[in-house]
Amino acid sequence: MTVPDSPGRRRLPRPRRAPAVLGIAVLGGVLAACSTTVSGQPQASQIPQPVATGDNSELARLLPNPSQFPSPYLAITLPPETAGQAARDLDGILPGAQVDPGDCMPTPPVSDPAVSVGTDDSTRATLTVELVRTDQTLSAVEQQAQRCGSVRVTQSGTTATVTTEVLPPPPLDADETVALRRTVRSETGGPGLTRTMQTLLGQVGDVRINVTYMSFGDDKPDGEALDSLFTTAVSKVRKG
């Protein structure tokens, strides 16, 4: 497993105005590859997950503008080839990973995602907005999260545990809303190898809105910024 600034790090294009944003997204991918345990008898699963293909320009149009991200989160909209990786990182489980229990693999979407990421350079924390089309209800997502409170995930010989807690849903004008808190802890240990994610999910028609605050370690989430951006994202999708 590689971490930022190591020779094996995956390299992605970075705009000059936001040099740290993609670095955090890549780090999420690296740590997710080290990732996600549920109690019970092991029943490993390694099922190739389908990857949606197609133009995501319509969804990208519905993303909050970088200027709509709260301060101090400097934001950019990710290109399609990077957006898919960043979106999968938000689940803590990458496609093709061995998951125990085996029925805790996230359901793949029916479209490519559109993703914007904002970074607080002083803390390395990020706010990510993902829009994707799905045929799965948020009720099903919540039920899976309750069933899969602790999941053990192995990929490329590295294992981590993802714990998920269902929180009270945000009161917002959406068809459905769900709030989750996830922690991804690598079994190899070491500083900076624990990710904490607080996620607000909303559904408007077949469009899933995922706004996630991610930090490294046990820092308290920036709830005010998360709530503000989630409200902005849902409102923009609803208006079309």
Mean pLDDT by 10 residues, the chain (240 residues): 38 37 36 34 35 66 96 95 87 86 89 95 94 94 95 90 93 87 84 85 95 87 95 94
Residue type, 63: L
State CA 120 to chain mean position distance. Answer: 17
CA–CA separation, 240 and 112 (whole Å): 18
Torsion of CA 15, 183, 71, 122, to 10 degrees: -70
When computed from its CA atoms, the radius of gyration of the chain, rounded to whole angstroms, is 16
Question: What phi, psi does 95 have (nearest 5°)?
Answer: -55, 140
Residue 69: per-residue pLDDT: 98
Q: Residue 155: what pLDDT?
A: 85
Residue 194 pLDDT = 87
For the record, the structure tokens of 236 come out as: 């923009």
Non-local (6+) Cβ contacts of 51 within 8 A are 84, 95, 108
End-to-end CA distance of the chain: 41
Q: What pLDDT does residue 44 have?
A: 37
Per residue, what are the HEC states of 40-109? Answer: CCCCCECCCCCCCCCCCHHHHHCCCCHHHCCCCCEEEECCHHHHHHHHHHCCCCCCCCEEECHHHCCCCC
Token pair of 29 as six digits = 């991918």
pLDDT of residue 171: 82
pTM, entire model: 0.77
- Residue (of 92, 40, 34, 79) closest to 210 by Cα position: 92
